[in-house]
Amino acid sequence: MYVPEHFLETRPDEIRRIIELHSLGTLVTHSAIGLDANQIPFELVEIDGERGILRAHVARANPVWQEVDNDSDALVVFRATESYISPNWYPSKHETHRLVPTWNYQVVNVYGKIRFTEEEKFLRAVVGRLTRIHEMNAEGERAWRMGDAPPDYIATMLQAIVGIEIAFTRIIAKSKLSQNRDERDRLSAAETLEKRGHLELSKAMVRP
């Protein structure tokens, strides 16, 4: 990923926030049949600098776990908030007219070694944790739990999935938030985005 120095995201808390808030990652793998991409919700188990672990699961019917060897290289892309940025939102545009449109966004690329597992203990744990994480953020009076379903049904469902674990080898994160513009331009664009409902991106641009 091309990342100019002024867009390089190095804040550990911000990288963690992006992964956890936008946990539907794009898993990119390569096998004998070529490149493949799968959209999968991931659990960030731990992260320490450029080291960490992601866990997830895929349907047993998904061929990725048979086509890709254990310990193969993999890439997971977590794309966060994004929006088109008009030159009209910059005060300096109305003075110089020397500006063009752009696109602001945040993204984290996690590179690592992938491993697949059919272990029931692993699968039960990762499904349970992912459920708790996302049910906490769901609307409703009561969170769904695995215990709400009959044990034999859960056992059958677990047999229909395969676990994934990715051990990080490196992380590249990018926050393109108009840091290359004057502060008044950046804050003016952030204010416009806020008015248009892009609250997450607007907030990120205020504190790039």
Q: Are 75 and 111 in contact (CB under 8 A)?
A: yes
The domain spans of the chain are 5-198
pLDDT of res. 139: 64
pLDDT of res. 141: 65
Selection from 187, 185, 177 nearest residue 208 by Cα: 177
Say yes or no: domain 5-198 is CATH 3.40.50.300.
no
For the stretch 185-190, contacts whose Cβ atoms lie closer than 8 Å and that sit 24 or more positions apart, written own/partner, are: 185/89, 185/90, 185/91, 185/92, 185/93, 188/89, 188/90, 188/91, 189/85, 189/89, 189/90, 189/104
Q: Which residues of 37-53 are buried (b: 16+ CB within 10 A; e: fewer)?
A: ebebebbbeebeeeebb
pLDDT of res. 48: 73
pTM for this prediction: 0.91
For the stretch 34-38, contacts whose Cβ atoms lie closer than 8 Å and that sit 24 or more positions apart, written own/partner, are: 36/64, 36/67, 36/68, 38/62, 38/64
How is residue 92 annotated by DSSP?
A: T
Q: Are 202 and 186 in contact (CB under 8 A)?
A: no
pLDDT of res. 200: 96
Give 130's contacts (C-beta < 8 A, 6+ positions apart).
Answer: 41, 43, 56
Q: What is the mean pLDDT of each run of 10 residues along the chain (208 residues)?
A: 96 95 97 96 84 95 97 98 95 82 97 97 94 76 84 94 96 96 94 96 91
